[in-house]
Amino acid sequence: MSTLNPRASHFEHLYPVILAGGSGTRFWPLSRHLYPKQLLRIIGEETLIQQTMRRVLGFTSAGRVLISTNPAQAESIRIQLREWKEAIRDNFIIEPEGRNTAPAIALAAQELLRRDPDAVMLVLPADHVIKGERQFQRAVALGIDLAMKDYLVTFGIKPIRPETGYGYIQPKQAVRLAKAGKLVGHPVARFVEKPNAVKAAQYLKAGNYYWNSGMFVWRARTILDELARHQPALARSMNRVEALITSGASRSEVDDAYRKVASVSIDHGVMERSSRAAVIPVDFAWSDVGNWSSLEEVAPLDKTGNVVSGRVVDLESRNSILYADRRLVATIGLSNMVVVDTPDATLVCPKSRSQDVKKVVELLKRQGAPEHLEHLTVYRPWGSYTVLDEGPGYKVKRVTVNPGGRLSLQLHHRRSEHWVVISGTARVTRGEDVFDLTVGQSTAIPVETKHRLENPGRETLHIIEVQNGPYLGEDDIVRFQDDYGRTE
C-alpha cells in the first residue's frame, strides 16, 4: 500500500477524455437527439459540458482535453466550448456512429498514445453533476497513483437510496491498494448489473456497495492491453482502424472500418472481467441526472418540495418537477408529478415513471416525428434559426446572424429561398453578385445558386427565410467555403 501526497507531477501525463455522444432520451422534451442533456443548463449558469470542461481545468490545460462525440453533435459542442476553441480545435475524436463506450475509449487511447506513450486517461461523461471540486481533484490524484501501477480505476458513489437505474460495485474492503487522507483505493470484488428494487434495498442496507459512477482513470496502454485480453475481436478491429489512421487513409475508409467494430460497453466488456479493476469510494456529491425525477438531487427545492423553473404559476402542488420553457404553465394540486413544457412538445408523467420517457422518444422516432430530433430553435456557430411554420413544399424560419458572423458559401439542389430583412443589415452573396439589404428589403435565391448570408454590422441581423421545394431537409446543402471547418 502507498500513501499519496498530491502534487502537480501527478497530473503531468493526465489527459481528460470527455464522452459527449449521448442521445438525449431521458430529458425529453428539453433534450433532443441533436441537443442532448450535456448541452442543457440543468443547474447553474453553465451547461453540463461546460461545467465538466471547467472542472478538469482545475488540474490541466484545455489543450490536453479530448472530446469524444459524433458528427451530429460536434458543431453544437464546439459552440458551447468556444471559450477554449483554439486549444481544443484538433482534440475532437469523432465517431462516424456510436459503437458504445469501449470502442470510443479505445479510439481516444490510440490517439493519446500517438501523443504521449505515458498518457493517463481520465474518462468522464459530459453530463454529470459534481459538487466538491477539491474532493474530486484528490480522488483523481489517487486514481492516477493506482493507474500508474496498471490498475483500471473507477469511482464509487455511496448510495443514498435503493436505485435500480445504476450498476453497483462491491470492493474488497480488507485490501488497501493506496490511501490519500480519507480516500482509499480497493480491488473490486464484483460488479453488479442494475438490480431489481429488492436487491437494491439489500445493497443499500449492507453498506458495502457503491454506485458505479462511470468515471475512470487508467493508462492508455493498460486499457488497450485489457481490451486485447478480454475483447480480442474488438481489439483487432480497433487495430485495423488505427492502422488506417496512421497510414494516412481517407476519412471514409477509416469511418467504414469503425462502423464494423462491435458495440461493447467498457463496463461489461472489460471492467467486469478484469483482475486489474479497482474502486475508490469518493466523498464528493455526484449525480448523473439520469431523468427528470433525479433533478431534485441537484436543484433547489421550494418549501413544498417542488423544483420550479420558468414561468410557472402553481397552487398547492408538492414534490413535483415543474418546468416552463417560454409559455406560462399553470399547475394545481399536483403530487409527485413531472410537467415539462417546450415550444413544440409537453411532457406530463408521474415521477415514478420518468425512466419511461425514453420509450416515448423511441415511439416518436419510429413515427418519424421531428420532435425527437431537434428543437424549433437550432443554434449554429454564426447564430441560430427558428422554424416558425412548415407544410408540404414550404418552410418558414426566423434566422439570426451574430455581428461579424456569416454562413457558409453554399447551394441547395432541391429548394429555393426568399429572404426578408427585419432587423440589421444583411450582406448577400448570390452567384457572382454581392450586395447589402436593409430593413424591409428582400431577395430571392434560386435553386442550384451559390449563396451566402453574412452580418457586416454591429447589431444582430434578423431575417425571415421562406423555403420552397419538394425537399426541405437540412442535409440538402453543399458547402464550398466555411469559417467553421464544415466543408467536405
Model confidence pLDDT, tens digit, residues 341-368:
999 999 999 999 998 999 999 999 999 9
Residue 368 is assigned to a structural domain of this protein: no
Which residue, of 256, 287, 318, is where some domain finishes?
287
Asked whether the beta carbons of 386 and 377 are under 8 A apart, the reply is: yes
At residue 426, the pLDDT reads 97
Q: Residue 231 maps to which CATH number?
A: 3.90.550.10
CB within 8 Å of 122: residues ≥ 6 apart: 14, 15, 16, 17, 56, 140, 143, 215, 216, 217
Query: Average pLDDT in the 405-429 region?
Result: 97
As a whole number of angstroms, the distance between CA 49 and CA 63 comes to 16
Of residues 24 and 402, more confidently modeled? 402
C-alpha cell at 462: 434578423
CA 418 to chain CA centroid, Å, is 35
Provide the percentage of residues in the chain whose pLDDT is more than 90: 79
As a whole number of angstroms, the distance between CA 120 and CA 109 comes to 9
* Same domain assignment for residues 53 and 114: yes
Strand partners, 122: 16, 217
* Same domain assignment for residues 335 and 198: no
Query: Average pLDDT in the 22-42 region?
Result: 87
* Same domain assignment for residues 430 and 335: no
Residue 226: how many other CB atoms lie within 10 Å: 23
Residue 363 is assigned to a structural domain of this protein: no
Q: For Cα atoms 391, 35, 50, give the angle at the middle one, nearest 5 degrees.
A: 150
Asked whether the beta carbons of 397 and 467 are under 8 A apart, the reply is: yes
Residue 371 is assigned to a structural domain of this protein: no
Q: For Cα atoms 427, 429, 435, give the angle at the middle one, nearest 5 degrees.
A: 50
Q: What is the pLDDT of residues 86-134, one digit of tens each?
A: 999 999 999 998 999 999 999 999 999 999 999 999 999 999 999 999 9
Question: What is the average pLDDT value for the chain, to the nearest integer?
Answer: 93
* Same domain assignment for residues 248 and 163: yes
* Same domain assignment for residues 248 and 389: no
* Same domain assignment for residues 260 and 318: no
* Same domain assignment for residues 235 and 117: yes
* Same domain assignment for residues 432 and 459: yes
* Same domain assignment for residues 322 and 400: no
As a whole number of angstroms, the distance between CA 96 and CA 73 comes to 11
Radius of gyration of the chain (CA): 25
* Same domain assignment for residues 156 and 39: yes
Q: Which of 21-25, 45-49, 200-204 has the lowest mean pLDDT?
A: 21-25
Is the pLDDT score of 288 beyond 70? Answer: yes
Residue 364 is assigned to a structural domain of this protein: no
Containing 349, the helix (H) or strand (E) segment is: strand 346-350
Report the SS3 class of residue 236: helix
* Same domain assignment for residues 225 and 313: no
CA 464 to chain CA centroid, Å, is 31
Residue 488 is assigned to a structural domain of this protein: no
C-alpha cell at 69: 462525440
The count of domains in the chain is 3
Asked whether the beta carbons of 166 and 211 are under 8 A apart, the reply is: yes
Residue 367 is assigned to a structural domain of this protein: no
C-alpha cell at 39: 448541452
* Same domain assignment for residues 62 and 185: yes
The answer to whether the Cα torsion of 290, 293, 295, 296 is positive or negative is: negative
Q: Residue 437 maps to which CATH number?
A: 2.60.120.10
Residue 269 is assigned to a structural domain of this protein: yes
Q: Which residue range(s) make up the domain with 464?
A: 377-481
Q: What is the DSSP string of 285-324?
A: EEE---SGGGGGGTS---TTS-EEESSEEEES-BS-EEEE
Residue 127 is assigned to a structural domain of this protein: yes
As a whole number of angstroms, the distance between CA 12 and CA 234 comes to 30
